Amino acid sequence: MITTNRFSTLVFSEQFNHPLIQKTVSQSLLVSKDAVEQCIRKSTFSSQDLPYLLSPHAESSLEILAKKSLALTRQRFGNTMQLFIPMYLSNECFNTCTYCGFSLEYKYKRKTLTKAEIKHEASLLAKKGFKHILLLTGESPKHVSTPYLKEAISIITPYFSSIGIEVQPLEQSDYQTLIQAGADKLTLYQETYHKESYLKYHTYGLKRNFNNRLDAVEKGAKAGFYNINIGSLLGLYDWRYEAFAMAEHLDYLTKKYWKAKYSISFPRIQEMIGTFHEPYPISDKHLTQLIIAFRLAYPDLGITLSTREPKSLRDNLAPLGITTMSAESSTSPAGYSAGNYEEQFQTNDNRSLDSIISMLKSKNLDPVIKDWDMSLMPN
């Protein structure tokens, strides 16, 4: 992994080391069984152990590693599981992305919520019991501008204790505006950290700028976001490459912007979009290995599991390192008030909030709807 000086003036894209990541993947594939067994006997781990934890030979030790992951998660996070709900403000998008249901190439009627519709959706979700919300959009600066996002956040602030955003990459000043409006968490996925593949999937629009997306999270950190969530869309490239790239990004951020809390997500492409089908599918077993490895290597890292995954897998993974789960997710604008607009992708766990809470309690986990951490932060 890269060595980062917190006082360095270089941004992440200027330090991103593709050859080193490729080399680390190759080394991980060649790790011996003896080396893995020696590694898993350790009582504590770091990112330097990821090549061992993500190696093929580590697969046969997943049960042992899962027990370590479960114990470490309970030690660091107690029995809590934070729950949130996503709310889509718009499916307008000016990008052509071959894997996405919002891609510009799909000629359907687009929708951006009005102020009244935003308030209506927010009130419905608040009545369900949610206090932690994630606002999402397509990437259309014309329709979903910073002033629009600021107003949307202001409208829903009375309903929720924590508001996250997952929108197009913005400038530091824009992020500061949204923080002042009430946003406290930034989610931004690189999609794939493999630049050649990135350019193949993103054929038109501002999103085609690989480095701009790579550096946007850092702009959010500079702006003052307290919670930052990164990730890759698994299936676009080799999962081990994505894992080591995410680790490099995480190491950079935690060393340079150490005051923030970081989390990571591992969303998988689960269905065919148009003619697109994931070229690098990742199995349930490898996803489990990935989650366990990051929990052990980063003890205080938040790990999010979305409703992209089927309910049986979510139930099994919940105790093994997950700290945050979504529930009752809709991926289209006005999706909670019987709106009939195109969705970004299909979800695979459609259980109600009450059902998710019951499942978690059956596993001796305590569902948390309010982000108490944020209530302790100074204004």
Enumerate the domain spans of the chain.
12-375
**Quick check: 266 pLDDT over 60?**
yes
Length of the chain: 379
What is the C-alpha separation between 200 and 46, in angstroms, rounded?
A: 33
DSSP state for residue 103 in the 8-state scheme:
-
pLDDT winner (highest mean) among 5-14, 124-133, 172-181 = 172-181
**Quick check: 114 pLDDT over 70?**
yes
Burial class, 176, CB count within 10 angstroms (exposed 0-12 / middle 13-18 / buried 19+): middle
Query: 332-338, long-range: CB within 8 Å, 24+ apart, which pairs?
Result: 332/88, 332/91, 332/111, 333/88, 333/89, 333/90, 333/91, 333/111, 333/112, 333/113, 333/117, 334/111, 334/113, 334/117, 334/121, 335/88, 336/87, 336/121, 336/124, 336/125, 337/117, 337/120, 337/121, 337/124
Measure the CA dihedral 157/163/166/170, to 10°: 70
Supply the pTM of this predicted model: 0.93
Q: Please answer whether residues 199 and 208 qualify as being in contact, where contact means their C-beta atoms are separated by less than 8 angstroms.
A: yes
Lowest mean pLDDT across 26-40, 191-205, 334-348: 334-348
- Dihedrals φ, ψ of 375, to 5°? -70, -15
Task: Give the confidence band of 5 by pLDDT, cuts at 50, 70, 90.
Answer: low
**Residue 12 corresponds to which tokens in the numbers above?**
């992440």
What is the C-alpha separation between 252 and 6, in angstroms, rounded?
A: 8
**Residue 311 corresponds to which tokens in the numbers above?**
């309910």
**Looking at residue 332, what is its pLDDT?**
82
Q: Please answer whether residues 185 and 164 qualify as being in contact, where contact means their C-beta atoms are separated by less than 8 angstroms.
A: yes
pLDDT > 90: percent of the chain: 81
**Quick check: 62 pLDDT over 50?**
yes
Which has more pLDDT, 92 or 341?
92
**Quick check: 378 pLDDT over 50?**
no
Average pLDDT (124-150) is 95
Q: Please answer whether residues 91 and 332 qualify as being in contact, where contact means their C-beta atoms are separated by less than 8 angstroms.
A: yes
**Looking at residue 276, what is its pLDDT?**
81
Task: Give the confidence band of 141 by pLDDT, cuts at 50, 70, 90.
Answer: very high
Considering the domain delimited by 12-375, tell me its CATH architecture.
Answer: Alpha-Beta Barrel (3.20)
Average pLDDT (366-375) is 65
What is the C-alpha separation between 149 and 217, in angstroms, rounded?
A: 17
Task: Give the confidence band of 140 by pLDDT, cuts at 50, 70, 90.
Answer: very high
**Quick check: 129 pLDDT over 50?**
yes
Which has more pLDDT, 7 or 278?
278
Give the helix ranges, DSSP H, for 259-352. 284-297, 311-317
Q: What is the pLDDT of residues 287-326, one digit of tens each?
A: 999 999 999 999 999 999 999 899 999 999 999 999 999 9
